[in-house]
Amino acid sequence: MISLSDLYCVLTAVVPLYVTMLLAYFSVKWWKIFTPDQCAGINRFVAIFAVPLLSFEFISRINPYKMDLLFIAADTISKLVILFVLFSWAKFSKRGSLDWAITLFSLSTLPNTLVMGIPLLKSMYGDDKEAIMIQAVVLQCVVWYTLMLFLFEYRAARILIHHKFINGITTGTINTERNMDNQGGLQKLGGGRGGEDEVVHVIVTTPPLASSGTSDTDSYSFQNFNKVVPDSRGTTFNPIVAAAAAEEDGVCEQSVQACHKEEGKNSTKKKDGEEETPDAIKLVRNPNSYASILGLSWALASCWWGIKKPQIMENSVTILSKAGLGMAMFSLGLFMALQPRIIACGKRLTAYGMLVRFVAGPAVMAVASIGVGLRGTILKVSIVQAALPQGIVPFVFAREYNLHPDMLSTAVIFGMIVSLPITVLYYILLGL
């Protein structure tokens, strides 16, 4: 049974995170202390230095040779099961979509473990459970974010191929018709039958190119991308649907931070008559990836040879990493304040997103954990960890690749607001 003192210990660890976030929010929204440019500078510091060093500091302290293999197996199996179900739905269902499969995978499997998970789970289940959370952070940064980047790149390549292929077909069709008109009319296709012209209609269906946030009245429609539109000459073809969302001025998060977005930087542009695809963020540009790999490498070397970091290096890393957690929450508050509204994708999609984030993900994780043999406190840790708010790196990918960024931003912001009562509720129910 959970006692009031245990609940108070949890609140003392989590509430300060919200105080920091709200302080940043009020500083921009109400008190007008920081300008967007100043917010961008703060967020850039968090992106490049504070949070990567925080990741390095945590990861470099673990013993990779004594990792909890059952927890790793449960985490991996749960993600693979969700990935298999979503891609089977996208492949075999008429309402399936690669775009939504990627988004739902992000929502259901990639929580904010570094910023929220470590302090929350330590206060709930003890300091010795910090290693479990760090293992989850390593897997996310090294394995699952890399997989997410691959999926986004695969989607972008498929869009580019379809775009060029369809443009070639439609351009060729129109040019052929014009040439035939110049010669005195359309020639018979297929050898002639009496006086009837036979026109071959080529209809090519294409997947959604991009999608932005939707509202309750403007829900995402999969059928709209398969419409056959007749042109002025009566020829039918399926046009490329260019739905690149307009880029907003403001701040967007990178890892657990925000970066200033200049107008038009990643939007679709036309140059010399050709339409270019948005610039794709690369994993090698993410400082957290370097921090995770370096931290894991140092942990492997230090545990194998029994070496320790020099004191100068230790102090240099610590002085900045200690600021990482508070600065990350402050940066999130700045991001919230710079958004036009918290619920950007509509109430219906927000409700679906919260169900996927806080119900479906933990449920699959619970089944996988029980299936591999987790019991006791480790089982509770795995379930609560899966019920943490949405991770911010998936939102960065969604923004850069223009795939439901409004829904991911809503999941980050609104998820942070409701995560405290939800995780505490999980903590109480699992403790009964």
Q: Would you state the pLDDT for residue 176?
A: 53
Q: Which two tokens stand for residue 27?
A: 């500083």
What mean pLDDT, rounded, does the chain reach?
A: 76
Distance CA 328, CA 17 (A): 9
- Residue 168 forms part of a structural domain: no
Q: What is the pLDDT of residue 380?
A: 93
Alpha carbons 112 and 331: distance in angstroms, whole number? 14
Residue 60 phi, psi (nearest 5): -70, -15
Model confidence at 174: pLDDT above 50: yes
The pLDDT, as a whole number, for residue 356 is 94
Q: What percent of the chain has pLDDT over 70?
A: 72
User: Quick check: is 233 in a domain?
Assistant: no
> Residue 80 and residue 122: Cα distance in Å, rounded?
27
Rg (CA), the chain: 25
Local confidence band at 362 (pLDDT 50, 70, 90 cut-offs): very high
Q: What is the pLDDT of residues 301-340, one digit of tens each?
A: 999 998 888 899 889 888 888 888 888 889 888 888 888 8
**85 domain residue, yes or no:** yes
CA distance 325 to 283: 22
Residue 309 lies in a domain: yes
pLDDT given at position 348: 92
Query: CA dihedral in degrees (343, 50, 401, 361; nearest 10)?
Result: -60
Is 354 within 8 Å of 412 (Cβ atoms)?
Answer: no
Mean per-residue pLDDT, 164-181: 59
Amino acid found at 149: L
Split at pLDDT 50, 70, 90, the class of 222 is: very low
Task: For residue 425, give its domain range.
Answer: 4-157+279-431
- Does the predicted TM-score (pTM) go above 0.85? no
Asked, for residue 169, whether it belongs to a domain, the answer is: no
Residue 58 located in a structural domain: yes
Residue 209: pLDDT band (50, 70, 90) is very low
Q: How confident is the model at residue 287 (pLDDT cuts 50, 70, 90)?
A: confident
The highest-confidence range among 88-97, 207-216, 319-328, 360-369, by mean pLDDT, is 360-369
CATH number of the domain where residue 370 is located: 1.20.1530.20
* pLDDT of residue 365 exceeding 90: yes
Residue % of the chain over a pLDDT of 90:
28
pLDDT one-digit tens code per residue, 396-407: 788 778 899 889
Residue 216 has what pLDDT? Answer: 38
Number of structural domains in the chain: 1
Residue 341 pLDDT exceeds 50 = yes
More confident residue, 195 or 54: 54
Would you state the structure tokens that stand for residue 184, as one six-digit string? 């005195």
- d(C-alpha 144, C-alpha 157), whole Å: 20
Chain position carrying tokens 């500083």: 27
Mean pLDDT of 174-181: 53
* Angle at 401 (CA atoms; ends 400, 402), nearest 5 degrees: 95
Most confident of 52-56, 357-361, 420-424: 357-361
How high is the pLDDT of residue 339? Answer: 80
| Greater pLDDT, 15 or 252 | 15
Lowest-pLDDT range of 97-101, 151-155, 217-221: 217-221
Residue 387 lies in a domain: yes
C-alpha triplet 383, 121, 293: angle, nearest 5°: 90
Q: Are strands 236-237 and 250-254 parallel, antiparallel or unpaired?
A: unpaired
The string of pLDDT tens digits covering residues 239-272 is: 333 333 333 333 343 433 334 444 344 444 444 4
Beta-carbon contacts of 140 under 8 Å, excluding residues fewer than 6 positions away, are: 110, 113, 391, 393
Report if residue 221 sits inside a domain: no
pLDDT tens, residue by residue, 62-118: 888 888 999 999 999 999 999 999 999 999 998 889 999 999 999 999 998 888 888
